[in-house]
């Protein structure tokens, strides 16, 4: 291999707290749908774990020891026309989730679409904090933020075709930035099958009106 490090599946393996936080959010949504808002709120707060925030920051933060790009990236063409980033359409995003489910194609952690996070935030604005800075964001919703990542970066000519796009988490997307897979030392994620699990991305939140729970019933 000429001294090159072996390709890796992701920058940093997920820590157990990520699965624990996802389980808490899943339970919170189930509680919400049963009308148990106080329980849902408590579990959403519990999922806001400092360890999860630290995991994300260790990958996408400045001078990350995990997302180090080696060898040095190929020089980009100076003065090349800037192509504005093109977000995949709703239909393309739908096709991506149909193929990839609701897990990062690099590190495999569960993900939640931004639209779903917003629905939950509107119902629980205190528990689901979401500011402009990373530190002001609920750690689990930040870590599990679904991204639509171009494998060959858009600025290098990569398009929105399904073969060039994957669902990722925030850390895997922003940790790589505008670098190619080879530059980042990452294996091609479509060479491994997607994670399949019961995790539904919390998509069931807000789809149906919550049932009237026992805590909403006043004694006669
Ligand atoms: Zn990931």
What is the tens place of the pLDDT at every residue in 24-41? 999 999 999 999 999 999
Q: Which residues of 164-196 are buried (b: 16+ CB within 10 A; e: fewer)?
A: bbbbbbbbbbbbbeebbbebbbbeebbeeebbe
My answer on whether omega of the bond before 85 falls inside 30° of 0, hence cis, is no
**Cα(169) to centroid(ligand 1), Å:** 4
Measured distance CA(71)–CA(101) in Å, rounded:
32
Task: Please check whether residue 155 lies inside any domain of the structure.
Answer: yes
**Cα(33) to centroid(ligand 1), Å:** 28
**Cα(110) to centroid(ligand 1), Å:** 8
> Considering its fold, how many domains does the chain have in total?
1
Task: Please check whether residue 212 lies inside any domain of the structure.
Answer: no
What pLDDT is attached to residue 220? 38
**Cα(171) to centroid(ligand 1), Å:** 6
**Cα(166) to centroid(ligand 1), Å:** 11
Task: Please check whether residue 219 lies inside any domain of the structure.
Answer: no
| Beta-bridge mates of residue 110 | 103
Percent of the chain with pLDDT over 70: 85
Task: Please check whether residue 124 lies inside any domain of the structure.
Answer: yes
CB atoms closer than 10 angstroms to residue 199: 21
Asked if pLDDT for residue 208 goes beyond 70, the answer is no
What is the domain range of residue 46? 16-68+82-191
What pLDDT is attached to residue 77? 57
Asked if pLDDT for residue 143 goes beyond 90, the answer is yes
What pLDDT is attached to residue 62? 84
**Cα(216) to centroid(ligand 1), Å:** 39
What pLDDT is attached to residue 5? 64
Task: Please check whether residue 126 lies inside any domain of the structure.
Answer: yes
Task: Please check whether residue 208 lies inside any domain of the structure.
Answer: no
Asked if pLDDT for residue 45 goes beyond 50, the answer is yes
Q: What mean pLDDT is predicted for residues 160-183?
A: 94
Task: Please check whether residue 1 lies inside any domain of the structure.
Answer: no
Task: Please check whether residue 27 lies inside any domain of the structure.
Answer: yes
Mean pLDDT of the chain: 89
Choose between 217 and 160: higher pLDDT. Answer: 160
């Amino acid at each position: 291999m000429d001294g090159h490090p072996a390709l890796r599946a992701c920058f940093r393996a997920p820590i157990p707290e990520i699965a624990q936080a996802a389980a808490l959010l899943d339970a919170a949504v189930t509680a919400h749908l049963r009308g148990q808002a106080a329980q849902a709120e408590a579990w959403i707060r519990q999922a806001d774990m400092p360890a999860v925030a630290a995991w994300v920051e260790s990958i996408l933060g400045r001078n990350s020891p995990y997302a180090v790009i080696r060898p040095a990236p190929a020089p980009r063409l100076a003065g090349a026309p800037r192509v504005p980033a093109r977000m995949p359409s709703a239909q393309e995003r739908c096709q991506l989730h149909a193929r990839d489910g609701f897990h990062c194609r690099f590190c495999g952690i569960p993900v939640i679409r931004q639209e779903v996070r917003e629905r939950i935030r509107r119902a629980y604005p205190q528990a689901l904090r979401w500011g402009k800075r990373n530190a002001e964001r609920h750690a689990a919703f930040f870590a599990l933020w679904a991204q639509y990542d171009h494998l060959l970066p858009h600025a290098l000519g990569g398009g929105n075709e399904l073969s060039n796009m994957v669902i990722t988490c925030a850390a895997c997307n922003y940790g790589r930035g505008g670098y190619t897979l080879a530059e980042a030392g990452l294996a091609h994620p479509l060479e491994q099958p997607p994670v399949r699990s019961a995790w539904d991305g919390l998509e069931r939140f807000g789809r149906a009106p919550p049932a009237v729970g026992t805590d909403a019933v006043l004694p006669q």
